[in-house]
Chain A
Amino acid sequence: MKVLVAIKRVIDAYVKVRVKSDGSGVETQNVKMSMNPFCEIAVEEAVRMKEAGIASEVVVVSCGQQNSQETIRTALAMGADRGILVQSDAELQPLAIAKLLKGVVEKEQPELVLMGKQAVDNDFNQTGQMLSALLDWSQATFASKIEKSDGKLTVTREIDGGLETIEVALPAVVTADLRLNEPRYASLPNIMKAKKKPIDTMSAEDLGVDPSPRLSVVKVSEPPARQGGAKVGSVAELVEKLKNEAKVI
């Protein structure tokens, strides 16, 4: 089974993001960039499938600017076989990304597309579902366990009430939740090897997609700050204050 993994380059999840003073967005200059954590989990899962003999080839694809190549290299160092960069300087929103990915899927013909459940920059949580719809494939979102049997996958999903297990026919799009696996760190030899793995580049025009945004960001602002920081000296004082000052118990 050929597996395609879609990955996004984002501001590192542990960076304290700052809003630009002109309200046009967030500060991205000199900020650490990383692979979206959920995409890392998707790559790890694909590489494990290959190691287990379930996947025949793992291809990673990222849509974005030239520097998304670095993110693709990281995935190659984790064990993916080759990469595709869909280069675009436009602001890409989930529907546009899903259309670009559909184009890549049509060229590559994978049986399974693995993605992250959510990109931690925009927190949309949409692209996998949209790609699945455009392809008219099955979908399994928020996966914490994936097992393959003949022509289908059994997927455990993290849902609001607990866990749900479904069976999806292949081909399918599956999006990874946090507990699907723990991604590996690439070893130095694998980082070296990854430098020689091929990365193809294509454009939105090559794929016949109009990636124009449908949403326009009018402004980005700082959330209201909380006035925290007060301390209490004892449990008794805490309870007294909750009762008489805050009046919440």
Chain B
Amino acid sequence: MSILVIAEHDGGALKPATLNAVTAAKEIAGHSDGELHMLVAGEGVDAAAEAAAKVEGVTKVLKADDGAYAHLLAENVAPLLVKLAESYDYLVAPSGTFSKNVMPRVGALLDLQPLTDVVAVESADSFVRPIYAGNALATVKMGDARKLITVRATAFDAAAPEGGSAAIEAVESTGDSGKSSYVGSELTQSERPELTSARVVISGGRGMQNGENFAMLEKIADKLGAAVGASRAAVDAGYVPNDYQVGQTGKVVAPELYIAVGISGAIQHLAGMKDSKVIVAINKDEEAPIFQVADYGLVADLFQAVPELEQELDKAL
């Protein structure tokens, strides 16, 4: 049995979620005993491939370096995965917009039914995944011989980024499909940690009233080394960019500390953060559902409480 982990990277470094996917792959391998390889696809990915080769447990790195993969367009990446899949029993990728875009396409081309958002490995063919915004957990047995899986980074520990010394093997490009092309992107630039791997996350909701007020949360974030997130309502209202959204249809986070400010706690939001270790809620409505999942609820006007929090942190840290 052999497993190919599909790396997420930015060319130079692996995205943290890749290391969590490696752990999930090792758990699968534990049930089936086999080789663990990693694919790094993109353009100019030498550094990322070298980082992949050092990950503990990875025995070979496949490097697909070509202009056709520069922007990871699904129509170009899927044929590569289809070709490589021949040699593997499992393709495992961290859940995210990249794998969600590509993996089902690979599945359809191979007549396989992939599984999205796995949170636990039960056996070589049975996996647990949340359904209904995390209101239920389904244990699912995959009937297909070859298994395509995306895994929730928050549900698995990160593998050690050092300790491995895998060989790097270049793989041939499958070329450009000509079906789509990249025009441009507006990526959020931030010095703060990535939302999905931050140790602390502070999120704002509709209660923040506007985008400028998020500066209050940023100040707290800077003190705690936190990432800043948001509810859908805050994103829809244009306070912050789309990639801040935490929830069923946004990002799933499980930091050690999650601070929800002016967020009511709709199930779709809870779906993205209720596995956080400690949850703090600041809301002026004591009936807000967020308090039901909060370890420390503070019923207060956020415009008073947040500046006060900043001062108290200064004293305490």
Contacts and interface: CB of A to CB of B under 8 A. Distances in A.
Same complex origin of A and B: yes
Interface of A: 11, 13-14, 16-17, 19, 26, 38, 93-95, 98, 117-118, 120-134, 137-142, 144, 154, 157-169, 177-179, 213-223, 226-232, 234-236, 238-243, 246, 248-249
B74 A161 contact: no
Dominant SS among interface residues on chain B: mixed
Contact of A217 (B78, B107, B139, B317): B139
A88 B106 CA distance: 26
Interface in B260-317: 267-268, 274, 277-280, 291-300, 305, 308-309, 312-313, 315-317
Nearest to A138: B179
Contact of A123 (B74, B126, B130, B312): B130
Nearest to B270: A226
B23 to A, nearest CB: 20
Contact of B278 (A142, A161, A248): A248
B294 A228 contact: yes
Interface of B: 71, 73-75, 78, 96-98, 100-109, 111-117, 126, 130-144, 178-188, 200, 224, 232, 235-236, 241-243, 248-249, 251, 256-257, 267-268, 274, 277-280, 291-300, 305, 308-309, 312-313, 315-317
Contacts of A238: 280, 296, 298, 309, 312
Given A129-B104, A215-B142, A154 B297 contact: no
B129 to A, nearest CB: 8
B295 A228 contact: yes
Contacts of A229: 291-292, 294, 297
B126 A93 contact: no
Contact of A162 (B143, B236, B241, B267): B241
A242 B257 contact: yes
B257 A126 contact: no
